[in-house]
Amino acid sequence: MRFVFKTDYDQDIRLLKHSGYWWSYGALLAVLIAFPYLVGSYLQSQIVFVFIYAIVGVALIILTGFTGQASLGHAAFLAIGAYTAGFLQSQGISFIVYFPAAAIITGAVGAMVGFPALRLSGIYLVIATIAFAFIVEEILARWESVTHGNEGMRVRTIDFLGQPIPRDGDAFYFLCLLVLAGSILLALNLLRSPTGRAFIAIRDSETAAKSMGIDLAGYKVKSFAISAALTGMAGVLFAHKMSFISPEMFTLLLSIEFIMVIIIGGAFGVHGAVLGAIFIVMVDPFLTALKDDVPVLGASLATTLGMAPDAAGKLRDTMSAIGSAAGLKGAIYGLIIMMFILFEPYGLYGRWLKVKLFFQLFPLYKKATFKRQKTYVKSERNR
Amino acid sequence: MSFFTVDGISLQFGGLKAVDSVSFSVEKGEIFTIIGPNGAGKTSIFNLISRLYDPTSGKLFFEGRDITEVPSHQIAKLGIARTFQNIELFENASMLANLLVGRHCHATTQLWQEILFLPSVRRAEKEHRRKVEEVIEFLDLQAYRDKLIAGLPYGVRKVVEVARALCSEPKLILLDEPSSGLNVEETDDMSFWIRDIRTDLGVTVLMVEHDMTLVNRVSDRVLALNYGKVLASGTPAEVQAHPDVIAAYLGA
């Protein structure tokens, strides 16, 4: 186990706290740079989706994990970013301009959504953001002169100062990696400065935050705006990756997937966004494979165990009917969320920290180290 | 004009008068205590001063300035910090982060500077940290810097809350029952610290307290309240000898 001897305040401010960080993040960077040359195009494309989801995850961690404001409307922010990119590109505006423009427009919309957050909290805020997402979905379907309505909209290849960046090329992979790294750096910088601490203060006690001089209204709006702007940037990348966008891509289920990213990854640290994104993006191909393979496997297993061939065929049909039932994906997602909330509220990153501590302390690790304790009751009277 | 004046302040919740035209003034460098039975309106007065409640009538003056209409998040910047009766710390943050939030009213950096973490932000952060370390040293909290508040014992949390209030470099500190939930030894420490806060840091102290030993030891003046009305004020001995105060506590 490493003991860092602190002699300077800078040691608490700096992001790479000791030489171990340089080694591990350096290795990670090397792997990420080498990835496009090592893996096939399918996996590379999945990793690009991991990056895009992770950017949204970082945005949600800033809003939900650190400011304590829940949102089920992030699919709408993604949509606004995506459609801004699609529309501005069709007007002949360059990527260099519409990429930041999408972030700014989405950020402005996010600030507007932030205003109801001043008066709403908890479940009521969630309902308000769902309502916002439905409004956006409806506008996208009806504002045909800009969005082409339900027909959807084609998004052409990025033209980066005359240099095309095709959606399945290596350059696109690196672009997404760069945006993700930038968002993570932004989030970390925010968290080690007064604004980030103000967010945490608002999450833990609004009353105390107020009397410490934190303007609740201002910081809630800031948090919503930053979160929305990051999601808007992810939306631009998403639009180019899909090359076709339509309103039914940005539904409530997508917002729930984003919430899952941070619940599964762990909302208390930025690492969680990346781990959660890996989980969510990879669970879909996994479920698809299960849907195709499990019925066949089950039927052949039943035949070997002595079941009549037509009965086994019936079993296979029943299983594949269950597998392709509408809403099954949602049910499985719901189950995963419940399991994580019940058994590992700190997510995959929390689990990783516990495993790490187990090995650091090896023979001395106590079973009750992370037992959740009852905390003191806090007064909510002055809210 | 006095350093801090409460002038005929009232607070009404529907038909209930929680605070009924209370007036008092606190001089600079004083330790002023408000006592009274449960529900007398002591914490309500604190909530009025930190502007969590709007008074029904009456005015508040701090350093000659009318602060009755100042929004609650600007009170800290004026130099009034407070603690809470039931401890309102930021539970899932380290003690250091809690104390740094106390420095928030002195933050000068802009959002865009913080996102880029410019050298000016780093300098400001180190300056905040230096101030926080002074308070940590003053209240002997060195052992808890990186500990989460959720894992700290009650007695330590109580001190951390005082520390957070001191980090904002207040001119007036409001302590809401600093000794509640503390054992005899911790109460002793608290009484020394309260006097040090006044003598060494020059901060005027306004507190609400039930423990009469502590009140007698530290207070310069005491105000007794019951049902939102002032019963008596004066030195601790005078107030305790006042017939109305005895009646309020023991029943007439």
pLDDT tens track for A166-188: 888 889 999 999 999 999 999 99
Q: Does A211 lie at the interface with B, CB-CB under 8 angstroms?
A: yes
Contact A200 B97 (CB under 8 A): yes
Considering only CA atoms, give the Rg of chain B. 19
pTM for the complete prediction?
0.89
Question: What is the pLDDT of chain B when averaged over all its residues?
Answer: 92
Neighbours of A130 (CB within 10 A): 16
Judge whether residue A134 has pLDDT over 50.
yes
Q: What is the pLDDT of residue A372?
A: 61
Average pLDDT over residues A240-258: 91
Query: Given its phi and psi angles, is residue B16 left (phi above 0), alpha (psi -120 to 50 degrees) or beta?
Result: beta
Residue A324, pLDDT above cutoff 80 = no
Mean pLDDT of B48-68: 92
Name the residue type at position A16: L
Element (H, E) at A274: helix A271-304
Contact (CB<8Å) A213/B104: yes
- At CB < 8 A and 24+ separation, what contacts does B106-109 make? B106/B168, B106/B169, B107/A194, B109/A193, B109/A194
Interval B79-91 mean pLDDT: 91
Closest CA to B101 of A162, A208, A263, A350: A208
Please give the residue that has the higher pLDDT: either A381 or B113.
B113
Q: Do A12 and B103 touch (CB under 8 A)?
A: no
Q: Do A200 and B114 touch (CB under 8 A)?
A: no
Could you give the dihedral angle defined by the CA atoms of residues A56, A57, A58 and A62, in that order, rounded to the nearest 10 degrees?
Answer: 100
The ipTM value here is 0.92
**How near does any CA of chain B get to the CA of A166, in Å?**
30
- Given a cut of 90, whether residue A1 has pLDDT beyond it is no
Output DSSP code: residue B220. S
What residues contact residue A86 under an 8 Å CB cut-off, 6+ apart? Answer: A147, A153, A154, A155, A239, A245
- pLDDT over 50 at A381, yes or no: no
What is the pLDDT confidence band of residue A245, given thresholds at 50, 70 and 90?
A: very high
**CB of A14 within 8 Å of any CB in chain B?**
no
Average pLDDT over residues A217-228: 94
Min distance A183 CA to chain B CA atoms (Å): 10
Mean pLDDT of A71-87: 94
Residues of B in contact with A100 (CB under 8 A): none
Does residue B121 contact residue A196 with C-beta atoms inside 8 Å?
Answer: no
Q: What is the C-alpha end-to-end distance of chain A, expressed in Å?
A: 43
In chain B, what residues touch A212 (CB-CB under 8 Å)? 76, 81, 101-102, 104-105, 164, 168
